[in-house]
Structure 1
Amino acid sequence: MKILSLTNEFEDESFGGAGTAVTGIVHMFDRMGVQQTVIVPRSDWNVPSWDLKGQRIKVLRIPRNSHYFGYLGMIKADVVCQEFPEILRGWDIIHSHAINFTPLTYTLSQGVTPILYSIYSFLRKELGDRLEPELQAQFKIQEELLMRCQRIQLISQSERQYLASRFPEYLNKTEVLPLGVTIPSQRWQEGVRNEFLYVGRLLDYKGIEDLIQAVSIRHKSGQRIHLNIVGKGTDSYEGFLKQLVRSLQLENYVHFHGRIPSSEVWRRMARSTALVIPSRREAYGLVALEGMAIGTPIISSNADGLAELVPNACALTFEAGNVRKLSQALASVQDNPSLQKSLSIKGRQNALSFEWSRLAPRYLALLERVTE
């Protein structure tokens, strides 16, 4: 089987959960003996380049510039096909992970090669159906891809419920398959009392404001805890969050670290009292799965896909958006070493069931159904 994977993020060119997921899927297929070619942009390259990865993975890295990408960030299919004619034929499946590659997907498929679309978030849902013309255009591109692909992979039942409410006609070609995790070598260290961690993009729906307010409540009660925030957002939103920290007089306790390598993220997880995922909405929550794989105690909202991935039995959960409940969860974990250890053990057991090798048979079955 030969697969062409079209993705906006892969390995080093990765900005969040989608990049981690695509990297895991591609390497899982490689271990299963599937031949793959991956096309991915690179922000820091000026010329395209072919690379070999794993056993059977060819990677075409294309500079993320105006020569290859045009309006709405869409790849210029005519330019890519002219410069790299070897991609024009020979595929059993075209696996789309991002709408940036939709023009190329249609050009290469020609209505003959089946398209598998793995969707990590519905843009209209994630961005609140905003009315800006460029966003509306992206929404329509994604929804046309839903219509024209042969198979849709969703990552949680909550996303399937959204699809059912908006596009029930596509349910018969939809499968829910969770994303997996590669188990890091790091392990959680007991005994860290007041170092809490947030990892993820800095976006308003991620609940970071709620988390900062919850820390403030704990400080007003005399409980001094530290919060490390790892991730990037727009300059304006980061500025807003930092101003909130200053207004609450938390500059010595809440620290922003920007984007850091995955290996350093895992080390921070291992050295934290708990990893906090305070999202007000969330399609999945891969960072929670990574934290559990390390054994880090998890404090998580019950938003959408998080509730499926992080059950009450292996994490301390709270109602999404409820700042006071989040504050109480911080206090409960900080002062209770036995609870920390229990959450660590149960969370890691939960994460092991999502290891890529355990999910591999289900993904292989999906590929076989796509080619039927």
Structure 2
Amino acid sequence: MIYLKVLSLTNEFEEERFGGAGTAATGIVYMLDRLGMEQTVVVPRSDWNKPGRLARGQHINVLGLPRNIYYFGHLEMVWADALRHKFPELLQKWDVIHLQAINFAPLAYLLSEGRIPILYSVYSFLREELGDPKVPGLQEQFKIQEELLKHCHRIHLISQSEVHYLAEHFPQYLSKAEKLALGISLPTERWNQVNTNNRFLYVGRLLEYKGLEDLIEAVGRVYRTERQICLDIVGKGPAPYEKYLKRMVSSLKLGDCVQFHGWQPSLEVKQRMVHAMALIIPSRREAFGLVALEGMAIGTPLISSSAGGLAELVSPTGALTFEAGNINQLSEALMTAIDNPSLLKLFSERARERVLSYAWEQLAPLYLNLLENLTQ
């Protein structure tokens, strides 16, 4: 039985995933597919030279667009008129337009015409996440997102910290906001404490607000206590910042114990989580913390800051937590993990228990209710 027809507009999906937003978008689409939704997903594809279509799941049609000037313009905003003429099937009567990336806002407005409800999933408030730098391109993106808050019909927020941000900065839109956590597909992999070898793991984008400088400094402090410690960093970021981090590692003489691995496929990341002593989330700001949730699902012990949505997701009774930006507390947490392996085993068990409530199957009725209410 087909309940609803949903058009999903996202900057990341499946093979095009680059981080938490891509994982979230993919998870939501497949969850809705299992509920019987008929969905068309429009997504850029970095590895395609021309548009293409793919079938996925039971009722998922994917329209992939090359990331080029024919489809995307300034700030990678989609050319809505070009898509309307090139793909007239997008003009059909949708029950809901699910917007998951601001660069598709022009297309959502064009197709909605004020009649089809737009659900906007906010995976982060850009002005909060990026620190509000006075950079013209970023300021334009901030304004695009804030216009979306005004024009969409329902705002999907992913944590209580994001609800607080909306209430403080845009209270006029709070009445159309709903908080729904992101979910996880429970993996078969399980954490293996036997061969951790004091190897800690960071997974995520290499950006300043992710707290990597704090983490490297903390590893240096632990290293100087003559404890054995290694850190694997998986992820990519702007080239100048990556070079800065590598220079920092070199200046602290940590080249033998801190390794950068770049971006890696999800299967390899899961294997690193299986064999890590702990997964470290040192973020200074975080809307939710999907990497933490993925680690918890495998049972990898967490060392996490309490920034933003992490405070809601990560329990202090099931992880080593520290105040965001507090390098002393982070280095102490690393030493506690090294010195107390039995504590990590306890955290692993508690993490696996806690994550069950975040399984997509548990969250599915809430998402279904959100969509159905939009169409009434």
Report the TM range for the smaller structure's normalisation. over 0.9
Q: Does 1:312 align with 2:316?
A: yes
The CA distance in 1 between the partners of 2:197 and 2:314, in whole Å, is 23
The CA distance in 2 between the partners of 1:125 and 1:276, in whole Å, is 22
Q: In the TM superposition, what whole-angstrom CA distance separates every residue of 1:307-366 from its partner, at most 9, and x where no partner exists?
A: 001011211101111111111111111121210110000011111110000000100010
Which residue does the alignment assign to 1:44? 47
Q: Which amino acid aligns with 1:54?
A: G
Which residue does the alignment assign to 1:54? 57
Which residue does the alignment assign to 2:132? 129
Match of 1:370 among 356, 362, 374: 374
Match of 2:251 among 243, 247, 251: 247
Which residue does the alignment assign to 2:9? 6
Q: Which amino acid aligns with 2:36?
A: G
Which residue does the alignment assign to 2:143? 140
Q: Does 1:194 align with 2:194?
A: no
Alignment of 1:1-372 (within 5 A): 1-191=4-194, 192-372=196-376
RMSD over aligned Cα, in angstroms? 0.7
Structure 2: runs of 5 or more not aligned: none
The CA distance in 2 between the partners of 1:127 and 1:272, in whole Å, is 29
The CA distance in 2 between the partners of 1:132 and 1:220, in whole Å, is 39
**Displacement of 1:47 after TM fit?**
0.5
Identity of aligned residues (%): 61
- Name segments (4+ residues, structure 1) moved above 3 Å: none
Q: Which amino acid aligns with 1:290?
A: E
**Displacement of 1:193 after TM fit?**
3.5
* Contact 1:193–1:335 (Cα < 8 Å) also in 2: no
Q: Which amino acid aligns with 1:25?
A: I
Q: In the TM superposition, what whole-angstrom CA distance separates every residue of 1:244-276 from its partner, at most 9, and x where no partner exists?
A: 000000000000000000010000000000000
Q: 1:318 to 1:302 in 2, by over 3 A?
A: same
* Contact 2:39–2:60 (Cα < 8 Å) also in 1: yes
TM-score by length of structure 1 reads 0.99
The CA distance in 2 between the partners of 1:326 and 1:131, in whole Å, is 31
* Contact 1:217–1:327 (Cα < 8 Å) also in 2: yes
The CA distance in 2 between the partners of 1:271 and 1:132, in whole Å, is 41
The CA distance in 2 between the partners of 1:249 and 1:132, in whole Å, is 34
**Displacement of 1:219 after TM fit?**
1.1
TM-score by length of structure 2 reads 0.98
Q: Which amino acid aligns with 2:188?
A: S
The CA distance in 1 between the partners of 2:319 and 2:344, in whole Å, is 9
Q: Which amino acid aligns with 2:137?
A: E
Bigger mean CA offset, 26-35 vs 129-138: 129-138
Structure 1: runs of 5 or more not aligned: none
Q: Which amino acid aligns with 1:66?
A: I
SS of corresponding position for 1:153: strand
